[in-house]
Structure 1
């Protein structure tokens, strides 16, 4: 994606209480040409609509670093490291992705080949790594990525599908990992989850991803026993949940900001709030299929509490179409509320229009985008 040549104007959202001053929220209203997502099979190559965030992230190779919006905004990946060129599609060995990810020093990992990497076991990613799939079409299959006790990881422009085995997730983030950004990835068809964020992992952003052909999509907080998960904070925005059955996401304990996502044709529910979760759903598009209720609440008992509790969902400016119903609880559910403005000053949010829906349909997930040139930091 190239530069955005449009204008910016300030847009203020109401804040639910007087404890948070209303900062200026960046509002993008610029016109931009986007190519269709190549794995969508569409022939419409001249879609002109409002822009997605990060219009400048592809100017140079390392422009991605610290460009995320939301809770993962500090993730720098391998910004200060050497380039590692993946030259092999083998599961391990010299020039392989696994070889790069296990190294302890910061690395910006790029690919000189396209194709499928079949993982025979979880691929563990160490701290200060960028896995940058721009310029190639890389598919990971068999098993997934594991981000364990690591920080500052960026994963961009990959396909991850076809994971097999019990408890196998496409991207597993646990425990105590932080400053993670997952951007422009296509994820589908795993036996367990597509993204699991648990055990105190926090400061994470998931953006511009395409989720399809799957049941349990994103889990944030694995168990009501893990009360330390109260520290977790996650932003999910400009993602396309395309017929996935549930968990867009399902949340325990964490604070989660959802904005400008498009969920359609869910099989059970779109978003689930469970024990003590605080979800701020802003300007998302919820398009029902056979199941009409978007929001679900589950009651569970935290390990250090005497009574069961559910979570809280604030819905601001969400669009419910095709007969969808919010299912919002209006009574006091006995837990705190949060506003993202308490944690970061700006984010790019659009009205939930049909134009936005078309952008998210065609321009999320893996993109046929050239790998930018590297420039000295």
Structure 2
């Protein structure tokens, strides 16, 4: 007897569904786990809107200043500087001895890039950070989430499989990408705590729309993506967790905006040409490492500190290491306020106005960088004290140790001097700056392929 049309439809649908499931399993066979969490109807419709600019304002970590500082900052930042120095020295010595053919002396990269099975051990990356953001674990202790859909149709009710759906979840997630994609965000991508965005193995661009907001959260790693051509967005509802969305006023158009957050690591990204900053950290943010990034074609590259009057930023501690500040840059690499900033082994090949600026008495510790001044004879100075008379800034602690000055570049140091422990921590020596080229030669998003070392 011939099968009924209805029975044939059911059978065909079952077979089609089974094939889809098998294909999905095959695509993720090298992952530990595959997470596709659905937002329930109740979660989607729950009316927890907030009229505040921050949909997470009730969770501000700076409400209790003393507790926040104690938990998220180091009493002695020089101790962290010494640890960075030791990591660099150890990697440099291994490179000289030829222990591994792929080592560069860059301790972050030497921690994981020599492994041809990096794609099977992705989470090892979380143990490779150095500096003030070294304790950022991101989504290391969670499951994998595979982004398969580049769309961003609804910032309030994002589709499962999209980047927005991944970053808002309430649990740790290590987020990877199924294929190459360009993600054009309608509104800010408001992240939740304990997330890693890992672009290795795919060519991922967040471009031509809104970009990334890290606000009142902790433990975020962003690695291996291109972020560019970000635009101001806002005056719209945006979801920040499965159970909460709120009204967002206009955002400036930063590539990555860090606001009142801690334990953040921004590594091996390519950033350029945004409406405001490329990386801005303000409003009490601290415990941050910005490393191995390639910055190009931008005016105000990096702002660290909200305003001269916002004294909570005295607790800000940031490591800026192994970045390449490249073509088309003008100023703010970074521009600092109040806090402690360790600028180590970066390659500055382009600026128009200045490289490092500051106001409100920040501590700037420049070690082993390579500064190539522009042709303009009036722009040779690496440093700029912004809107501050000489009598005020001469006591600020700005130090240059072992930096390589090229084409007439010069660093205007200041401060009454440092303790012996500071001097020891700062003594990288000129030899270190001679390796900056190899340390930063692969700055930016890498072209990683499975089964090979990540080049």
Shared fold by TM > 0.5? yes
How far apart are 1:300 and its partner, in Å? 5.6
RMSD over aligned Cα atoms:
3.2
> Conserved in 2, the CA contact under 8 Å of 1:77 and 1:154?
yes
How far apart are 1:370 and its partner, in Å? 3.0
Say which structure is richer in helix.
2
The counterpart of 2:200, out of the listed 130, 134, 159, is 134
Instruction: Name the structure 2 match of 1:267.
Output: 352
The counterpart of 1:208, out of the listed 287, 292, 304, is 292
1:153 aligns with 2:220: yes
Instruction: Report the Cα distance in structure 2 between the residues aligned to 1:74 and 1:49, rounded to whole angstroms.
Output: 23
Give matches, 1:1-377, under 5 Å.
25-26=86-87, 27=89, 28-29=91-92, 30-31=94-95, 50-54=104-108, 55-58=110-113, 59=118, 60-91=121-152, 92-141=158-207, 142-165=209-232, 167-175=252-260, 177-243=261-327, 244-289=329-374, 290=376, 291-299=379-387, 311-329=396-414, 332=416, 339=422, 351-353=432-434, 355-360=435-440, 362-370=441-449
Say which structure is richer in strand.
1
Higher Cα radius of gyration: 2
Cα deviation digits, residues 95-141 of structure 1 (max 9, x gap): 00000001111101010021210011110111000100011010001
Aligned length: 328
Cα deviation digits, residues 353-374 of structure 1 (max 9, x gap): 1x532542x300000113689x
Instruction: Report the Cα distance in structure 1 between the residues aligned to 2:399 and 2:148, rounded to whole angstroms.
Output: 47
TM-score of the aligned structures, taking structure 1 as reference length: 0.79
Instruction: Report the Cα distance in structure 2 between the residues aligned to 1:22 and 1:132, rounded to whole angstroms.
Output: 29
* 1:332/1:31 CA distance change after superposition, 3 Å: closer
How far apart are 1:336 and its partner, in Å? 11
Which shifted more, 226-235 or 85-94?
85-94
Where structure 2 has 5 or more consecutive residues not aligned to the other structure, the ranges are 1-77, 153-157, 233-250
* 1:340/1:235 CA distance change after superposition, 3 Å: farther
Instruction: Name the structure 2 match of 1:14.
Output: none
Q: Tell me, what secondary structure is at the counterpart of 1:235? A: strand
Q: Tell me, what secondary structure is at the counterpart of 1:228? A: helix
How far apart are 1:338 and its partner, in Å? 9.6
> Conserved in 2, the CA contact under 8 Å of 1:312 and 1:337?
no
Instruction: Report the Cα distance in structure 1 between the residues aligned to 2:303 and 2:419, rounded to whole angstroms.
Output: 20
Instruction: Report the Cα distance in structure 2 between the residues aligned to 1:153 and 1:341, rounded to whole angstroms.
Output: 31
Cα deviation digits, residues 274-320 of structure 1 (max 9, x gap): 1120010000010011221101112569xxxxx96574311111111
How far apart are 1:256 and its partner, in Å? 0.6
* 1:81/1:232 CA distance change after superposition, 3 Å: same
Instruction: Report the Cα distance in structure 1 between the residues aligned to 2:194 and 2:103, rounded to whole angstroms.
Output: 35
The higher-RCO structure (CA 8 Å, 6+ apart) is: 1
Where structure 1 has 5 or more consecutive residues not aligned to the other structure, the ranges are 1-18, 33-46, 302-306
Which shifted more, 47-56 or 81-90?
47-56
